[in-house]
Structures are given as structure tokens and as C-alpha cells.
Structure 1
Amino acid sequence: MTAPRLRMTGVRKSYGPTHALRGVDLELAAGEVHALVGENGAGKSTLMKVLSGAEPPDAGTMALDGMPYRPAGPQAARRRGVAMIYQELAVCPHLSVEANVLLGLESTSAGFLRKTADRDRVRAALAELGHPEIDPAASVESLSPAARQVVEIARALLTDVKLLVLDEPTSALTQEDAQRLFELVARLKGRGVTVVYISHFLEEIEAVADRYTVLRDGSAVGTGRVTDVTRPRLVELMVGRAVDEQYPRVPHAAGEVILELNGVAGSPLPRSASLTLRRGEILGLAGLVGSGRTELLRAVYGLAPVREGSVKVQAFTGGTATPTQRIRQGLGLLSEDRKEEGLALSRSLADNLTLSRFAPLARHGFLSPARIRAAASAQLTRLGVKYRDAEQPAAELSGGNQQKVALGRLLHQDADVFLLDEPTRGVDVGSKADIYRLIGELAAAGKAVLVVSSYLPELFGVCDRIAVMARGTLGPARPVADWTPEAVIAAATGADKPSTPAHHV
């Protein structure tokens, strides 16, 4: 009988009193795509860190192709053919594609680098991945997120990868790039590579995976073939209970206009954006990555200049303003990049939750640590964040819990207008439902919510109206009932516009 590609038995890992892994068993076959699913904080990342050599296990055994396996670090794991591609790609943007792929893997002859041979190796790896168009001499910072991902996978190929872990690989990809990734995964599977696929998008798992394993609270609670399990059953295994509504609806009604944009143009994006947003309304912004949606939110919030047009927030009208002014006017922004912009990862949860509004936390002109802790604890409890204490650094939380903390800051700020850029990116199914319910509660409380999302089911599930941005220009907002997913995609790609007839001389 052929030994499995990987067998993990009784793997345990604790961080102080926190039990991240509670005796996990995992078995992977050669040439299979295995989905690893679970809520944020379930132990997926810790298990994969143990597998990739980034963390030593406290107990348990591992075997790779029938041989004992306990890597001393990521380099040792790579030498055994195990590679991990993290959600936040580990590339050097200022270096070339070739330099990134070869970093630490350069070949030599008589003490000299074999540059021509190495470039041929890089070209061959890119071609094998179906991307011969990527220039080895190009700077990585000039590439799209999808192309950068290919660069990392090409590096894994040069190490003769046997087992590749992909952590939320489509979180920053367009629909077209995601489809290319699925094709790439199929090619890797065809050459016998085992792929561990971590994703919160259950439709992706159904499309690419052969088998699945569900982790919950550090334990494996279910495994089997993807074709033998229903989506509701997967969700139930992940959260430990049935989730009645994937997109819970909280009754709310639109009131007075609170935000109005007229011909807003930035530098270089957006080119032109006009909209009205009312209290008690959830307005969705759809569009392709790079269409100008994020740039629009940043211009409105004061993080980017407004070159033309006007932004009216309640009684305040003008063009460019500072973020401090926008906060005072009632705007709150949730950045799509929580690690770089949304959170101060080295600071405590209490600091992250309260930095944007100190007034209610002061006593006799001085900040009260007790009030700060109380305010932070209230938001953490309200949002269901899994944490140790309010003084815990934000960096120690899982991605989904970090996202809840970033949202909690806007709640503490008591913003009137919530600008949410990809609010559920990297968030598990159960936490997504919590965030959707929170968005509905905000609208019911008279807040206005503007949601940018690349995930169409999300926009259709939670929004009242949807507007589509294409090539920097925002189209008119229409009720959700007036849209179909196909119509949104057509508007985003310009396919809904009549083609301009060619002029023949």
C-alpha cells in the first residue's frame, strides 16, 4: 500500500494558556487538492506553520512520503519539498522576478553565478505555470497581485515542491485571475503535487478541492470528500452550529442624505464619481480591482487629494480635507489593508479600538486607563472577538478577529458614515455573518454605510443599492432588485456599452 504524501498525528501546539492545536490528525495523498477550512482562530494557520517549519509542535508526529518529518525551520521544510504561499505574499517588490524566484537558490560553477542557466530555469518555471509572458527582468512591484503570486509559486517549483500550501490565494485577485489560479492548481495536481488549499469561499473549495478537513477550536472535527458534503453541513462543522442566514437582514429604512459626491475626481483615479448616500442605507460599490473604488473612498476620507468636484458631508461642503477633519465630520474608514493601514499591530487591542476618539475616555483632562479598558472590552464583547485581554497586541489575533477590531474602532468613534473597503476579506463564514448583521444594525440605527466589495454575493446579500465603477467612472446607483450578477460584470467591464464603430479610410 502506498504511503500517504503527509501524515500528521496528534499534533499539539499551545501559546501560554491558549491551546491552538489539540491533537490534530491530518492525512494527505499525493496529487490531491485538500481544502483546510475553519473559522478564524480555529488553528489552520498554526497547523500549517508547524507543517512548513515556522513553528515546532509541542507534541505529535509527522511523516512525509513515509519518512519521519520534523523540519527545523522553513528552509529545512523547503529542502524536503514543502512550501507555503502566505496570504500576505513574501516577495521583495524592489527586486526583479528572477531575483525573487532564485533568492537563495542560485546555481554556481567554480564559484561564479550561472546567470544564463538560472534565467533559463526561471523562464522554464514560469512557462510550466502557464505564465511565459512574465518577464524575469521585470520588477516585482510592477506586477499585478496575481502575477506576484505566480512568482512565489515558481520559486517553490525550483525547490522540487511536493506539497504546496496556498493560504487564501484569491483574496486579492480578480475573478479572471482566480480562474487562472484554479487552472494552475489543476496543473500542479497533474504533476503529482499535493496542494493544501485554505479558503473561506466555499464555492472555491467545491471547484478545486478533492477532499476537505474542518478545524474548530484547534481540533479536526470533520474530513471527507468534497462531493459528499453539502455547503450548509460544512458551515455547521466550522462554527459548531447551524447558521440560519448567510446574509442576515436587519430591517432599516433610508432617511435624509448625509453624503453627496458631485463629479469627484482624484489623481489619477477616480475620474468622475457622483452619488448620494442616505442615513439608514447600505450602498454597495462594485467594480474590477483597479477600477478606482478604493481610490474614491480614500479621496472622500481625505487620504488622497480631490482634484475636481465636491464632497458634501452633512453640512460640510468642499473638496480635499484631512482625515482628522473627516473624522470630526462623522466619517469612518475601514481600509482594505488592515495590516498596513487598518491596525497598529504592535499596539494593544485597547489602543487600536480607542485611538480615533479620546474625549469620552478622559477624566479631568487626562486619559483614564480604566475607561480605555472598559470601552475596549465593551466593543470586543459586542463583536465577539476571541482575545486574551485588552492589553494583548493586535498582531496576536487571527485575521478575522483583527478585522473585527478594525471595525470596532469605527464603532467607538461613533461615525455617522461608514466607508468599508472589502470588510470581510480573509474572514470566515461565521464571522462574515456577524459582520453582515452588524452592517444591518448600523443602518437600522440611522448610520450610512458605503461598502466596496469584489464579492458579488456579498453586495447582493447586504446592500440596498449598487453602483458600478468602471475605468475610474462611477455609474448610477440602482436598487439591488434592478441588477443581476451578469449585469454588474457587464457594467464593470464596459460590455454594457455599445462598441464604437471603426473608421475606415
Structure 2
Amino acid sequence: MQIIMQNIHKAFGTNEVLTGVDFDLLEGEVHALMGENGAGKSTMMNVLTGLHARDKGTITIDGKETYFKNPKEAEQNGITFIHQELNIWPEMTVLENLFIGKELKNAFGLLKMKEMKALAKKQFEKLSVSIPLDKEAESCSVGEQQMIEIAKALMTDAKVIIMDEPTAALTEREISKLFDVITSLKKEGVSIVYISHRMEEIFAICDRITVMRDGKTVDTKEIPETNFDEVVRKMVGRELTDRFPKRNQELGETVLQVKGLTKKGIFEDVSFSVLEGEIVGVSGLMGAGRTEIMRAIFGLDAMDSGEIWLEGKKVIIKSPDQAVKLGIGFITEDRKDEGLILDFSISDNMILPTLSSFAPKGLINDKSTKEFVDMLIKRLTVKTESPDIAIGKLSGGNQQKVVIAKWIGIGPKLLILDEPTRGVDVGAKREIYQLMNELTERGVAIIMISSELPEILGMSDRILVVHEGKISGVLAKEDATQEKIMTLATGGQ
């Protein structure tokens, strides 16, 4: 299937998101689509698949001008979109999610369960996925949910698959397997639109790259004809020096110390400390227990035993409310379900953890709230027309900035960041890194969980590696390498 999009325009009210985009896709190619958050990448693909009607421009598919009424019609014609925000039905099983709206039935209208299970197992084997088909989707990790979505797309016999940040929640092994699947799909003539902020992946798997900025196409090039620096320059419209800002701050007293944290079957005998002004990176494979340990510290999940000490005092944290009052903030990896209320405004989301301070007599002080929100929007360069619009209308990267902003607003002593730059473009990533540096300069202690090894190595003062619920090693910044981290993450010494 060949697709040509020419001079595509799309506005939402007065907000012009696409202002003349050109994009073409060849049969059997992997075409990277890059740009800063809010550049219009996802909107352009939503126009292609019929979720949004274009205001202007033409779409030609296999030589014929074609416009879909909705994503289902696009899927029926061989184009599938795997969105960054996963379309998982949490209360349904894995099998039900795979076949929702596409159930196999016999002549009497009864489900062909045996046939559906066989097809699902065959697809999972292709992806080397081992998730029980009767498992409820809400109990699956984000990485497992991502693999379910990929499997669902591959089962539609698609000719074009649009992947929006497909590896954001995957382990290195899962990414490697996904790349194998993409390579085999290419050989079968399937085309892939690959939207990602992970530059290493773009140069490893893609054939061509189109860069967008501010709703326009900047350039399209063959991958061998460009490089990291050129792509970044075209994305942000300027040179971006140093991927990771230098860290020079002096470390202070111990802010957090945990001793022997244990939750049976999840993590065991976890002990570590974090100092004032320190960034402690936490690495490990998906399912190793990294997030679960931090959820217990924040009071989201109960633990069986262990002690938490904050600034030299033993504390008992049984709820997030208690953690916040103690000066602990937690930026969750799942911003859609746990980090934000998508129907609420940007302003309402930003002030949620500090709401009581803006309403000392039960009434919210609108002037103070506006000044606070405007300051955070400016500081984190959140792209928005107004702080009063629903946060669900922002791009994924701008939503992430709002999640970070709301926790900065509490003036934390300790900030736990779980995948802080997932789905965030290279320019915004550096802004987040710079912000982390500024926070540590003020004495804030930071724990950063990340699946991106360059990020762990580039931003951490010390690195904890978790393997099967235990800390398998602690590496000083100067001693750490990707090889050492992966050795410890897989149970080696």
C-alpha cells in the first residue's frame, strides 16, 4: 500500500495543529515520523485514519483519492493505528481485548473460543509473549498491555501499521523481538509508520525519516543520509548542545533511608538511601519490582515488613496523602490512569496535590492559583492556549510536563520519577533533565526509574539495579556501563 498526504491542514477551534503537512509512505518501508511534542504527528495520523476530518489537502492511497469516515473503516481497509495511550479495556481478559469487536462466531452466534485461543497463542508465540489469555488486562503491566495492543494490530492482517511510541514501556528483550517482527512484516510488504522519540531506534530500524515542526513538514530523508544532530536541529529549530546537562552539585545529608522493605512475592529485603541533591537511578527489567518498591514507599501499596526513615526520623506511610504531607512526590509511569484526570483542566490538575494551600478558608483563591499555574506552565514550557482547557487535549509530552509540574508545586524533599521522559521528545527531555538538576541544586533528593539505559547513565549519581525483587547491585556513576547494568539486571555478578 502506498499513501501520499499533501498540504494537509487541521485546526481545532482557533488552534491550528496542521498547517500544510506533506507525507508519503512506500510499500514495505519503515518510515519514522519525528518532531517535538505538539508538532502534529499523531494528529496527522488521526486525519489519515479518519478520527479527524481534514480541513484542507488531499490523501491518495494506491493512486486513488481516499478519505475514511472513522478508524474502523481505515482498519477494514488495511490501516491500523496503535496509539501511545493504549486502548485497553481493563476489566476484560487478555483474550477479550484481542478480539473485541472482531469476535469469531459460529452459525448460532456462539463464540468460537477454541479457535480464538489458538489464533491468540499463535500471535503471542510470534512476539515471544507469555501472558495468560484469561488474565484480566488491568492486572497486566504497562509493557504487557503494549504487547497486547501490538498483537491485536498484527491480527487484523494490516497493510499499514502506525506505531505511536511502541517501545515506551517495553524491555530490551521485548524491543528486540518487536524489531524482528517489524523486519518480517517489511518482507511481507507491510508498511510501518514509526513515531518515536528514541533516536537510537529510529536509526536502527527505519528506512526513511520525516521531521515535523509546528504543524509543518520540515524534511524527509533516507536514514543513511542524515544523523542525530541534524534530526534534532530540524525538530527544535536550533542546535541542542549536550544531550544530558552536566551535574556538579554537592551532596548533603541523607533524606531517605529504607531498611529491609519486603512484600512477599514482589520484592524482598530492599535497603538503600538517597542524599540531598542526589539522583539515584533505578534500573532493571520489566517486572523486576522497581515500580512496586516505590509504590510501597509512597503508600500506594502495603508492604509486609521494613522501615522507612525520612531525614533521620522513622515514618510510617500508609497512604499517598501521608507521603505528600511528609514532602514526597511520586510521578507515576501511567500518566493517563494514575497521573492525571483527563477531563479536568490543566490548572485543576496542577493544583490537586496543593489544593488546601489555595483554599485556607474553604474557598479557592483564584488569583494565587492563576499565578502559581502560570509560573509552572512557563517554567516547564507547556504548550497550551489556556490553563483552562482539558488536559486530555494536550499532546502526550505536554501532559507529562503537567504531571511533573503538579509535584514540583508541593516543594518536595523527595521526588520519585517513574519513567519521567516516556513519550517525550528530545528537546523536552533536556528541559526535564535541566529541571531535575535545578531541583537537586535546591537539595531535593530524586529517585529516577528508567528503562532507557542512556538516561540512567547520563543523569544518575548512583545506580541501583533490581533483579527479581532484590537489589542485585549498586554502581557509582564513574563505574557504570550498559553492560554492567544489564549483567546485574539479568541476575549476573
Q: Is TM > 0.5 for Structure 1 vs Structure 2?
A: yes
Alignment map for 1:57-206 (pairs within 5 Å): 57-106=54-103, 110=107, 112=109, 115=112, 118-119=115-116, 122=119, 126=123, 129=126, 131=128, 148-206=145-203
Partner-residue secondary structure (3-state), 2:415: strand
**Bigger radius of gyration:** 1
Identity of aligned pairs, percent?
A: 38
CA distance in structure 2 between the aligned counterparts of 1:101 and 1:384, rounded to whole angstroms:
38
Matched, 1:49 2:46: yes
CA distance in structure 1 between the aligned counterparts of 2:368 and 2:148, rounded to whole angstroms:
48
CA distance in structure 1 between the aligned counterparts of 2:121 and 2:473, rounded to whole angstroms:
47
114 and 463 in structure 1: CA distance in 2 versus 1, 3 angstrom threshold: closer
Match of 1:394 in 2: 391
Matched, 1:260 2:257: yes
Q: 2:24 aligns with which of 22, 27, 33?
A: 27
Matched, 1:17 2:14: yes
Q: Over the residues paired in the alignment, what is the CA RMSD in angstroms?
A: 2.4
Match of 1:294 in 2: 291
Partner-residue secondary structure (3-state), 2:282: strand
CA distance in structure 1 between the aligned counterparts of 2:145 and 2:154, rounded to whole angstroms:
15
Match of 1:276 in 2: 273
Contact 1:122–1:154 (CA under 8 A) maintained in structure 2: no
367 and 32 in structure 1: CA distance in 2 versus 1, 3 angstrom threshold: same
114 and 458 in structure 1: CA distance in 2 versus 1, 3 angstrom threshold: closer
Task: Provide structure 2 residue ranges, at least 5 long, that are not aligned to the other structure.
Answer: none
Task: Provide structure 1 residue ranges, at least 5 long, that are not aligned to the other structure.
Answer: 497-505
124 and 161 in structure 1: CA distance in 2 versus 1, 3 angstrom threshold: farther
Stretch of structure 1 that moved more, 388-397 or 161-170: 388-397
Stretch of structure 1 that moved more, 466-475 or 359-368: 359-368
Matched, 1:210 2:207: yes
Contact 1:126–1:134 (CA under 8 A) maintained in structure 2: no
Q: CA deviation at 1:91?
A: 3.4
Q: 1:310 aligns with which of 288, 307, 310?
A: 307
374 and 267 in structure 1: CA distance in 2 versus 1, 3 angstrom threshold: farther
Q: CA deviation at 1:51?
A: 1.2
Q: CA deviation at 1:60?
A: 1.0
CA distance in structure 2 between the aligned counterparts of 1:294 and 1:131, rounded to whole angstroms:
23
Once the two structures are superposed, residues 13-54 of structure 1 have per-residue CA deviations (whole angstroms, 9 ceiling, x without a partner) of 101111110111111100000001111100011011111111
Q: CA deviation at 1:12?
A: 0.7
Matched, 1:380 2:363: no
Q: CA deviation at 1:137?
A: 6.3
Amino acid at match of 1:308: S
Amino acid at match of 1:197: Y
Alignment map for 1:348-387 (pairs within 5 Å): 348-358=345-355, 360-362=357-359, 366-387=363-384
Amino acid at match of 2:414: V
Match of 1:416 in 2: 413
Matched, 1:454 2:451: yes
Match of 2:338 in 1: 341
Q: CA deviation at 1:89?
A: 2.6
CA distance in structure 1 between the aligned counterparts of 2:484 and 2:28, rounded to whole angstroms:
38
Q: 1:474 aligns with which of 471, 483, 492?
A: 471
Q: TM-score w.r.t. structure 2 length? A: 0.94
Contact 2:104–2:116 (CA under 8 A) maintained in structure 1: no
CA distance in structure 2 between the aligned counterparts of 1:128 and 1:192, rounded to whole angstroms:
21
Match of 2:321 in 1: 324
CA distance in structure 2 between the aligned counterparts of 1:254 and 1:468, rounded to whole angstroms:
21
Match of 1:503 in 2: none
Q: CA deviation at 1:135?
A: 6.9
Contact 2:34–2:41 (CA under 8 A) maintained in structure 1: yes
Contact 1:287–1:454 (CA under 8 A) maintained in structure 2: yes
Match of 1:245 in 2: 242
